């Protein structure tokens, strides 16, 4: 069923955070970085080495250092991890991204990271407005956000913004977008604030903007971003032509990814099957033991859902030649139902305008 040449990405999870943001449910630690940084890098390098059974001699199409706050790790650790996979890279072609928090961005740090092999920065701005940053419990302010954006102005970078923040208005959201447009950045991820269980926000009573204000923000984003050369290519992703995230596209196109670091997830396929697994979450546990947990084969109905949840996120659909998998019969049968109902495209794999507007409902077709 599977093609041999499924593209493969590497995700490196660096869990460091100075403080725990009250809305965040990612796998993080506020343990000290010093003393642990080098030990974690060593464990990650070991983990990649031991994964060669699964990935054979395949090359990485992209690498992503995510977190947590990878910019808290030493550049030496980032370089050591990259050096350990040099023979799996296609020089000058592999997109290598690192997430940075504004307080860690200095000309010196960015220069060091570029020298180590990083060629793309994902900057976690969230908002340029002090009141909104405080509402999110962030450890940076407007000044630091502007400074970081300026330092990165000539570097291939993307910015993360959150909307739907407590007391945020369509006007203040517009101001955030204007700042990004003026900054010359070529990629933007726009996330509506989600209140996740097991976070401080879940237990708090928040004065979040009402539904009409959220919709207004979405209309503002579409108008302003399109007017300024950005195109939405995925639910949360906007880019100028040619600057789409290679790494994230690989997830949505159902490519493979090797995840290393505490709590990371992997999806690897071979000729016979597709396997998903994860790594131990606690930092010390992972440093001691990088064995895989919860290994399972994805097939049947589960595979159909998995495919729908990824492929249909891509805004304008996928051509047959962009697919990394021969779609199973059961998926195609459900897909045809969606075409008949006007929710899915006929000539490509993707949602119609209506299907995209109600994406969660569209995905239900595959359950």
Ligand X SMILES: C[S@@+](CC[C@H](N)C(=O)[O-])C[C@H]1O[C@@H](n2cnc3c(N)ncnc32)[C@H](O)[C@@H]1O
Q: Does 97 bind ligand X (CB under 6 A)?
A: no
Residues 6+ apart with CB under 8 A from 331: 303, 304, 307, 308, 366
Minimum separation from the CB atom of position 21 to ligand SF4 (A): 3
Q: Does 191 bind ligand SF4 (CB under 6 A)?
A: no
What binding mask, one character per residue, do residues 59-88 give for ligand X by CB under 6 A, x or -? Answer: --------x-x-------------------
| Closest-CA residue to 68 (of 128, 123, 27) | 27
Q: Does 68 bind ligand SF4 (CB under 6 A)?
A: yes
Q: Does 148 bind ligand SF4 (CB under 6 A)?
A: no
CA distances 39 to 26, 80, 164, 277, Å, are: 21, 12, 38, 23
> Which of the residues 83 through 102 are near ligand SF4 (CB under 6 A)?
101
Using the minimum distance from each CB to ligand SF4, give the nearer residue, 68 or 117.
68
* C-beta separation of 17 from 260 below 8 A: no
Using CA atoms, how far apart are residues 67 and 6, in angstroms rounded to an integer? 25
Minimum separation from the CB atom of position 278 to ligand X (A): 16
Question: Residue written as tokens 């630690």?
Answer: 29
Using the minimum distance from each CB to ligand SF4, give the nearer residue, 140 or 334.
140
Element (H, E) at 67: strand 62-67
- Report angle CA 23, 28, 31 to the nearest 5 degrees: 120
Stretch that binds ligand SF4, among 14-22, 45-53, 142-150, 186-194 (CB under 6 A): 14-22
Main-chain dihedrals φ then ψ at residue 160, nearest 5 degrees: -100, 130
Using CA atoms, how far apart are residues 365 and 304, in angstroms rounded to an integer? 10
DSSP secondary structure of 250-317? HHHTT-EEEEESTT-EEEEE-SS-EEEEEE--SHHHHHH---EEEEEE--HHHHHHHHHHHHTTBTT-
Q: Does 196 bind ligand X (CB under 6 A)?
A: yes
Using the minimum distance from each CB to ligand X, give the nearer residue, 27 or 75.
27
Q: Does 21 bind ligand SF4 (CB under 6 A)?
A: yes
> Which of the residues 320 through 359 are near ligand SF4 (CB under 6 A)?
none
Burial 258-289 (b: 16+ CB within 10 A, else e): bbbbbbbebbbbeeeebbbbbbbbebeebbee
Q: Does 26 bind ligand SF4 (CB under 6 A)?
A: yes
What binding mask, one character per residue, do residues 335-364 give for ligand X by CB under 6 A, x or -? Answer: ------------------------------
User: Which of 6, 69, 103, 269 is the binder for ligand SF4 (CB under 6 A)?
Assistant: 69
* Helix 75-84, helix 107-116: angle, nearest 10: 10
What binding mask, one character per residue, do residues 123-162 give for ligand X by CB under 6 A, x or -? Answer: -x-x---------------------------------x-x
Q: Does 67 bind ligand SF4 (CB under 6 A)?
A: yes
Minimum separation from the CB atom of position 326 to ligand X (A): 33
Q: Does 290 bind ligand SF4 (CB under 6 A)?
A: no
Residues 6+ apart with CB under 8 A from 50: 290
Using the minimum distance from each CB to ligand SF4, give the nearer residue, 20 or 119.
20
Minimum separation from the CB atom of position 30 to ligand SF4 (A): 8
Give the binding site for ligand SF4 (CB under 6 A): 17, 20-21, 24, 26, 28, 67-69, 101, 124
Give the binding site for ligand X (CB under 6 A): 23-24, 26, 67, 69, 99, 101, 124, 126, 160, 162, 191, 193-194, 196
């Amino acid at each position: 069923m599977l093609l041999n040449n499924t593209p493969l990405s590497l995700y490196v999870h660096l869990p460091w955070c100075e403080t725990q943001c009250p809305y965040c449910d990612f796998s993080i630690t506020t343990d000290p970085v010093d003393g642990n940084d080098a030990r974690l890098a060593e464990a990650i390098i070991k983990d990649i080495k031991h994964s060669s059974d699964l990935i054979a001699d395949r090359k990485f199409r992209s690498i992503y250092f995510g977190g947590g706050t990878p910019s808290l790790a030493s550049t030496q650790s980032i370089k050591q991890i990259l050096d350990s996979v040099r023979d799996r890279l296609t020089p000058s072609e592999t997109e290598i991204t690192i997430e940075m928090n504004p307080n860690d961005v200095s000309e010196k740090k960015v220069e060091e990271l570029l020298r180590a092999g990083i060629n793309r920065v994902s900057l976690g701005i969230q908002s340029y407005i002090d009141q909104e940053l405080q509402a999110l419990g962030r450890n940076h302010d407007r000044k630091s956000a502007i400074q970081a954006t300026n330092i990165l102005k000539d570097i291939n970078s993307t910015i993360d913004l959150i909307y739907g923040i407590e007391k945020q208005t369509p006007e203040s959201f517009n101001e955030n977008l204007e700042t990004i447009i003026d900054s010359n950045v070529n990629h933007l991820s726009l996330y509506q604030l989600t209140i996740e269980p097991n976070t401080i926000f879940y237990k708090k009573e928040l004065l979040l903007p009402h539904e009409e204000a959220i919709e207004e923000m979405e209309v503002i984003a579409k108008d302003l971003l399109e007017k300024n050369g950005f195109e939405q290519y995925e639910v949360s992703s906007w880019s100028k032509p040619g600057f789409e995230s290679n790494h994230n596209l690989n997830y949505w196109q159902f490519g493979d990814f090797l995840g290393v670091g505490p709590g990371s997830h992997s999806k690897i396929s071979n000729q016979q099957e597709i396997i998903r697994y994860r790594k131990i979450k606690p930092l010390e546990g992972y440093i001691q033991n990088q064995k895989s947990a919860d290994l399972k084969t994805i097939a049947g109905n589960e595979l159909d859902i998995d495919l729908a949840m990824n492929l249909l996120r891509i805004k304008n659909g996928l051509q047959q030649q962009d697919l990394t998998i021969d779609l199973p019969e059961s998926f195609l049968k459900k897909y045809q139902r969606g075409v008949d109902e006007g929710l899915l495209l006929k000539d490509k794999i993707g949602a119609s305008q209506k299907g995209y507007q109600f994406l969660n409902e569209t995905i239900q077709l595959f359950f």
